[in-house]
């Protein structure tokens, strides 16, 4: 039987399609109040002098909220938007609106769990219950062949066994109607400026010129599969560096839950049936499994994910050289391939996977700087920031995570020659280089004075 009024506290599930939280609230309660809370703690200054969440991600969130609000209004509801701490706002709202259940997604990382526990303490005292739903991975946690603590420490082991034994669950249908209490003031969507942020003019070479929201996410997937057939070449193009098309660019929408990985999976399955099935179409699913894996690893290891000695408890020696960190952060190391990537990140909120691997390796293995500083800068900049994928990948590259290979190391010059042989990428992001006619990445003697080669920051013979 349907029971009273529910708050649907949306977090990283800003969509109508395949949304178990929303579907369950509709099934179990008479009225549903979708709610999103922007937490000021996201904008607290960290020890390194920058906020956890930066302008690109916040802008993307605000766009996603506008889109979701629009979709909810089309089915008779609205999206309440509040600014404040969830554990303060929800109990008050629940009391005023006589809510008896909170429906929300299940998160796995430290800060989210801390908020959940504080919230529970308050609402349980008010006689209000909370229901959590697991909904951000491709494979449901209850279907995989491992219990939480037994997730293998090696990805391949996890992938092979899971692929063999587990089926992707079917999609929850998009709700056609939501019963929203009448007369409820939903609140305006705040502006970027109200949080003290502004964004530069979009960069014409941005690899990520997209808007937040479910509508844009579905449009991108449609383009990537059905309009362009790019999916059929993904395995060959995915290490690209320039433009919108070398990879799916779905990560930012996935991180906010504007698109469900299951929805992507079933669209690819349809594409494979109707157009083409090859290694590339499989490879995108393979990458989604990495995403699942990092979430499960975060759940297994808890706060170790954010600790200096990481998941393995490897107490490596890390430097805390702030001057070199700032050079890395600002794209002023003197290594063109590193600087181009870091400048792209700062100017657009995005960097390719190949770039991320290289700059993370450079910071941790060449500059030997505390990997958590790099992860924190990525957290601030990335439009697609996701705590599990970000900290999991950083720990992996720093040698304190799930990499079975000891001492994985990226030779930056070899990488630059392989992935940017003509220097097109570095020319795109480093204006000093762009001015040099016929610049050749393999001719360090051609580097402008501002680019000091060999860089004084690293012993370049390491790369010889």
Positions touching ligand FAD (CB under 6 A) are: 238, 247-251, 254-255, 284, 287-288, 290-291, 294, 352-353, 356-357, 360, 378, 382, 384-386, 389-390, 393-394, 397
Judged by beta carbon, residue 120 or residue 287, the one nearer ligand FAD is 287
Which residue bears the tokens 């959590």?
132
Helical segments of 75-109, H only: 86-96
Report, in Å, the least distance between residue 359 CB and ligand FAD.
Answer: 8
15, two tokens: 């969509």
Is residue 315 helix, strand or coil?
A: coil
Judged by beta carbon, residue 82 or residue 249, the one nearer ligand FAD is 249
Which residue bears the tokens 């490897």?
314
Report, in Å, the least distance between residue 344 CB and ligand FAD.
Answer: 12
Query: Is residue 199 within 8 Å of residue 55, measured between CB atoms?
Result: yes
Report, in Å, the least distance between residue 317 CB and ligand FAD.
Answer: 20
Q: Which of 2, 37, 7 is nearest to 22 (CA)?
A: 7
**Cα 160 to the chain's mean position, in Å?**
24
Distances (CA, A) of 21 to 45, 132, 253: 32, 8, 18
What are the DSSP calls for 153-202, one per residue? SSHHHHHHHHHHH--PPPPPPPPS-----TT----PPPPSGGGT---PPP
403, two tokens: 């990499």
Residue 319, phi then psi, degrees to nearest 5:
-90, 155
Report, in Å, the least distance between residue 363 CB and ligand FAD.
Answer: 9
58, two tokens: 């916040």
Judged by beta carbon, residue 71 or residue 247, the one nearer ligand FAD is 247
Residue 104, phi then psi, degrees to nearest 5:
-155, 170
Report, in Å, the least distance between residue 310 CB and ligand FAD.
Answer: 13
CA distance 408 to 410: 7
- CB contact burial 311-337 (16+ within 10 A = b; e otherwise): bbeeeeebeebeebbebbbebbbbbbb
Judged by beta carbon, residue 23 or residue 53, the one nearer ligand FAD is 53
Element (DSSP H or E) covering residue 423: none
Judged by beta carbon, residue 9 or residue 385, the one nearer ligand FAD is 385
Report, in Å, the least distance between residue 459 CB and ligand FAD.
Answer: 23
Judged by beta carbon, residue 104 or residue 357, the one nearer ligand FAD is 357
Report, in Å, the least distance between residue 361 CB and ligand FAD.
Answer: 9
Judged by beta carbon, residue 180 or residue 394, the one nearer ligand FAD is 394
Report, in Å, the least distance between residue 288 CB and ligand FAD.
Answer: 5
Counted residue by residue, the chain has a size of: 464
Query: Is residue 194 within 8 Å of residue 43, measured between CB atoms?
Result: no
Report, in Å, the least distance between residue 258 CB and ligand FAD.
Answer: 12
**Rg for the chain, CA atoms, rounded:** 23
Q: Give me the residues paired with residue 45 across strands.
A: 51
CA distance 41 to 61: 15
CA distance 218 to 183: 32
Report, in Å, the least distance between residue 334 CB and ligand FAD.
Answer: 21
Q: Is the dihedral of CA 444, 445, 446, 450 positive or negative?
A: positive
Report, in Å, the least distance between residue 213 CB and ligand FAD.
Answer: 16
């Amino acid at each position: 039987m349907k029971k009273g009024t529910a708050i649907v506290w949306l977090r990283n599930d800003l969509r109508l399609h395949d949304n178990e939280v929303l579907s369950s609230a509709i099934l179990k309660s008479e009225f549903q109040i979708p709610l999103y809370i922007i937490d000021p703690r996201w904008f607290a200054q960290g020890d390194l002098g920058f906020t956890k969440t930066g302008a690109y991600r916040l802008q993307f969130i605000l766009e996603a909220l506008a889109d979701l609000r629009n979709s909810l209004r089309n089915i008779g509801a609205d999206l309440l938007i509040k600014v404040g701490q969830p554990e303060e706002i929800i109990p008050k709202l629940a009391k005023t609106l006589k809510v008896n259940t909170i429906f929300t997604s299940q998160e796995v990382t430290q800060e989210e769990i801390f908020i959940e526990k504080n919230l529970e303490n308050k609402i349980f005292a008010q006689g209000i219950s909370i229901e959590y739903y697991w909904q951000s991975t491709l494979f449901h946690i209850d279907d995989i062949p491992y219990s939480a603590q037994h997730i293998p420490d090696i990805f391949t082991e996890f992938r092979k066994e899971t692929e063999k034994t587990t089926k992707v669950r079917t999609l929850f249908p998009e709700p056609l109607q939501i019963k929203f209490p009448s007369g409820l003031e939903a609140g305006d969507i705040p502006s970027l400026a109200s949080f003290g942020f502004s964004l530069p003019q979009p960069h014409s070479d941005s690899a990520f010129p997209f808007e937040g929201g479910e509508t844009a996410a579905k449009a991108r997937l449609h383009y990537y599969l059905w309009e362009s057939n790019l999916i059929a070449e993904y395995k060959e193009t995915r290490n690209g560096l320039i433009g919108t098309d070398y990879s799916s660019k779905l990560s930012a929408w996935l991180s906010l839950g504007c698109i469900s990985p299951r929805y992507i999976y079933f669209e690819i399955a349809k594409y494979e049936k109707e157009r083409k099935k090859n290694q590339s179409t499989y490879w995108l699913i393979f990458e989604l499994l990495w995403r699942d894996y990092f979430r499960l690893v975060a759940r297994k290891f808890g706060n170790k994910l954010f600790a200096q000695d990481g998941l393995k408890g490897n107490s490596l020696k890390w430097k805390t050289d702030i001057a070199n960190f700032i050079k890395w952060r600002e794209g002023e190391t003197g290594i063109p391939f590193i600087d181009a990537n870091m400048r792209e990140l700062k100017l657009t909120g995005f960097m390719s996977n190949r770039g991320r691997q290289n700059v993370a390796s450079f910071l941790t293995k060449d500059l030997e700087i505390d990997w958590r500083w790099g992860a924190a800068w990525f957290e601030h900049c990335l439009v697609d920031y996701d705590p599990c994928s970000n900290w999991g990948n950083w720990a992996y590259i720093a040698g304190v995570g799930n990499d079975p290979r000891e001492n994985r190391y990226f030779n930056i010059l070899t990488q630059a020659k392989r992935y940017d042989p003509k220097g097109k990428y570095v020319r795109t992001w480093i204006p000093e280089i762009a001015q040099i006619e016929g610049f050749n990445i393999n001719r360090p003697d051609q580097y402008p004075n501002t680019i000091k080669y060999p860089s004084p920051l690293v012993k370049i013979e390491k790369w010889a």
